[in-house]
Amino acid sequence: MKSVVCLLLLATVCSCSIFSSKPKCKSGNHFMGNEYDLPKNVVAAIQRNEKAKATLENGMALVLQITEDGNTFYVADVASTETGRHVHLKLSSDFDKTEALDEKKFEKYTHCKEA
């Protein structure tokens, strides 16, 4: 019986440490719209990714400013209004670099607290 209790306690401690190790991040400014509504430098950064460029032509983008561990950057969810396809990107703070994000990495940033 004691070993079962010890295992449950260990599992609880491990799960708490996993959840508390999430990066601390804050979300700030955001942009939302189609390629004509967004600032030109944001559109140019999104269009560096071919899938995102094609998706934005018939869709919209939500771009969030994220601050994590003292670094500021943007994440974008580009969604097609016709097919429902999503492309997730990480954009540098000056919009000079564009990197594709998988669903799991993008999802992490959607839970950041508002600044």
Model pLDDT, residue 33: 94
Which residues touch 28 (CB under 8 Å, ≥6 apart)?
64, 65, 66, 67, 72, 114, 115
Q: 10 or 91: which carries more pLDDT confidence?
A: 91
26-59 pLDDT tens trace: 999 999 999 999 999 999 999 999 999 999 999 9
Domain boundaries, the chain: 23-114
User: What global pTM score does this model have?
Assistant: 0.76
Write down the pLDDT at residue 68.
Answer: 93
E strands, 1-115, are: 25-33, 59-68, 71-80, 86-92, 98-101, 113-114
Q: How many CB atoms lie within 10 A of CB 9?
A: 10
Work out whether strand 25-33 and strand 59-68 pair parallel, antiparallel, or are unpaired.
antiparallel
